[in-house]
Structure 1
């Protein structure tokens, strides 16, 4: 039954968009922004990390507009401006002046742009397998954004996402496939990144001068074997962001938060705990 779906949580209007979001724990707020895979939701992306981080912080994870169980307004333009406005609108709606921001892949580009445009609203920044800098689109990302719903196509995508086949069993493929064909999900997804897709990589990028000017302590995380977003993106971010550090996981694809869940959670806990010292 739909009402028992763990992906559906609280709902609030953020920048005029009725937003589905998870809100757990207490303490300094941490906003988690998910990636852009087909059928994705905040819960699908962050389900392993949220309970761990909620032991020490208030963790907030919205479904960005066009994804998950957030409202899909008619005539919506899905672009970086809209997603940044929604993230900022969520902080406003919750009465939060400042939060740490964690961005995964596509969500990294949103986190980066949010920190650039509203630096006073961001405490510390975490960018994981992040978009947001210029790079030639990979065959992996082109396949993700070009997904056409079928169980076989979803199995192929999961092989691209994860380093280990043990993580991408048929049960997970079936779960993500069924998520991708829920009413409205594929319509909005297909409208976001039509071919040629290099232009959407470019549209998600922030200017080098703006990234170099970021004052925030930044933790950059990447899987060495990522086939979706190249490791070179994170090396670029490391060179451009003055107060940054990079942690690379070997034997890891695009899903650090799932493939190395316990280590990922500890990294974030330690990084955020330093801010309170």
Structure 2
């Protein structure tokens, strides 16, 4: 039997020193593409993070979903320093390689800080901004984020993270899903890259991913903030701060929702994004 292809592997494209695995899907030939930037959980990839959103939005829009360096199947050099600047350079090189001058961008958690970085450093490359459970402003490291970044591979540890930290409704997390994410976290080189990104003490990485207040206040893009009220990883206070700092921002809070808004509330989340992006 021919093995089934792994849906997490899309196509590879040269982006500077990094060879980026990405998904370029959907149509939307007349509109601005939608760039999806994933979070920083163990075993995460663009497809794992965004698959449900891609299924709903690709019929209407061109979707770009890259694995950032150190995550998923993107290939990095043997010697590579993970930093906000390195990830930003990868994102810009990715858009350049695809000849995409401007995108709407959705950033999830860690990806929210990168979406902010793109809007701050290359404002002309962004039309509208969606930040979901976003990093990017100062906050005290939560026990949940410390557990995520401090993950040591085991199926039990992955199950605990997914059921008790990421999701509000643990029944959404099947044993199969836990096993898949655990296996993704132990692919050759995956844990080595992950542990190199956010070693203890981890408050310094929260601070490193935060942008200066003045830079965020200077953002002129129309911005949608989305957060789960019961998020144990990134506190709701981060989105309240962003709401205060970004002049043209609005905030939608989902009750009975953890850090996985796009999974726990896929349909309303996608409807929210579509309405926001389609506004004149």
TM-score, length-scaled by structure 1: 0.97
Q: Cα gap change, 1:197/1:2 in structure 2, threshold over 3 Å: closer, same or farther?
A: farther
Shift of 1:172: 1.2
Q: Secondary structure at the match of 1:140?
A: helix
Shift of 1:53: 1.3
| Residue of structure 2 equivalent to 1:37 | 41
| Residue of structure 1 equivalent to 2:79 | 75
How many residues align structurally? 275
| Residue of structure 1 equivalent to 2:102 | 98
| Residue of structure 1 equivalent to 2:199 | 194
* Kept after mapping to 1: 8 A contact 2:129/2:221: yes
Q: Give the alignment partner of residue 63 of structure 2, picking from 46, 59, 64.
A: 59
TM-score, length-scaled by structure 2: 0.96
Shift of 1:2: 6.7
Q: Secondary structure at the match of 1:47?
A: helix
Bigger drift between 170-179 and 99-108 goes to 170-179
Shift of 1:15: 2.8
Shift of 1:72: 2.2
How far does the alpha carbon of each residue in 1:151-173 deviate from its partner, in whole angstroms, 9 at most, with x for none?
Answer: 11111101200000111222211
Whether 2:161 is the aligned partner of 1:160: answer no
How far does the alpha carbon of each residue in 1:218-248 deviate from its partner, in whole angstroms, 9 at most, with x for none?
Answer: 0000000000000000000000000000000
In 2, the alpha carbon distance for the partners of 1:40 and 1:260 equals 19
Q: Give the alignment partner of residue 140 of structure 1, picking from 144, 150, 156.
A: 144
Whether 2:114 is the aligned partner of 1:113: answer no
In 1, the alpha carbon distance for the partners of 2:123 and 2:158 equals 37
Q: Secondary structure at the match of 1:48?
A: helix
Q: Cα gap change, 1:134/1:2 in structure 2, threshold over 3 Å: closer, same or farther?
A: farther
* Kept after mapping to 1: 8 A contact 2:36/2:64: yes
Shift of 1:254: 0.1
| Residue of structure 2 equivalent to 1:220 | 225
| Residue of structure 2 equivalent to 1:88 | 92
| Residue of structure 2 equivalent to 1:261 | 266
Q: Secondary structure at the match of 2:171?
A: coil
Q: Secondary structure at the match of 1:215?
A: coil
Shift of 1:97: 0.6
Whether 2:135 is the aligned partner of 1:131: answer yes
Task: Point out where structure 1 has 5 or more consecutive residues left out of the alignment.
Answer: none
Query: Which portions of structure 1, spanning 4 or more consecutive aligned residues, are displaced by more than 6 angstroms?
Result: none
How far does the alpha carbon of each residue in 1:110-132 deviate from its partner, in whole angstroms, 9 at most, with x for none?
Answer: 00011000001000000000000
In 2, the alpha carbon distance for the partners of 1:64 and 1:210 equals 23
* Kept after mapping to 1: 8 A contact 2:137/2:210: yes
Shift of 1:181: 0.4
Shift of 1:3: 6.3
For the aligned residue pairs, the C-alpha RMSD in angstroms reads 1.0
In 2, the alpha carbon distance for the partners of 1:168 and 1:230 equals 22
| Residue of structure 1 equivalent to 2:216 | 211
* Kept after mapping to 1: 8 A contact 2:17/2:77: no
